[in-house]
């Protein structure tokens, strides 16, 4: 809930905000969407649609091994629920896509929604801040 509210604050201030976290319950995601819509703000749900076995194979922190060993309980998607979105605006089966392909799909969705339109943009298509005339670091 707090992250959704922070996203609203940034979004309302004109900042494109990507919230990257596991949000296991549809009701929580729906509430974040409603909060944005109530303020006239854009909200796109992006679902990284990856099978659990692929996520377990990618596990850089060894958390799934700890779950399997019984060291961690209540782990989302294993022994705690995860409710996949029913109709996300963007679905990325990223085990079948490169990172660049995922970024291209997301950028295209942002453009179609009018998020990346208007003023000057950099070479990747991202809008430049108002008054920006220099180079990035």
CB 89 within 8 Å of CB 45: yes
What would the two tokens of residue 126 be?
């991202």
Question: Which residues are known to be catalytic?
Answer: 23
Host H or E run for residue 21 = none
CB atoms within 10 A of CB 57: 10
Strand partners, 76: 80
């Amino acid at each position: 809930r707090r992250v959704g509210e922070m996203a609203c604050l940034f979004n309302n201030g004109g900042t494109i905000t990507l919230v990257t976290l596991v949000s296991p319950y549809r009701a929580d995601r729906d509430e974040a969407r409603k909060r944005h819509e109530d303020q006239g703000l854009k909200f796109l749900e992006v679902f990284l649609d990856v099978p659990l076995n692929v996520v377990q194979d990618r596990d850089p922190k060894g958390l799934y091994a700890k779950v399997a060993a019984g060291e961690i309980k209540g782990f989302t998607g294993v022994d705690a629920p995860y409710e996949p979105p029913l109709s996300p605006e963007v679905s990325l089966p990223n085990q079948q896509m490169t990172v660049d392909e995922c970024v291209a799909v997301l950028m295209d969705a942002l453009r179609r929604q009018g998020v990346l339109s208007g003023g000057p943009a950099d070479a990747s298509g991202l809008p430049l801040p108002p008054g920006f005339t220099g180079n990035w670091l």
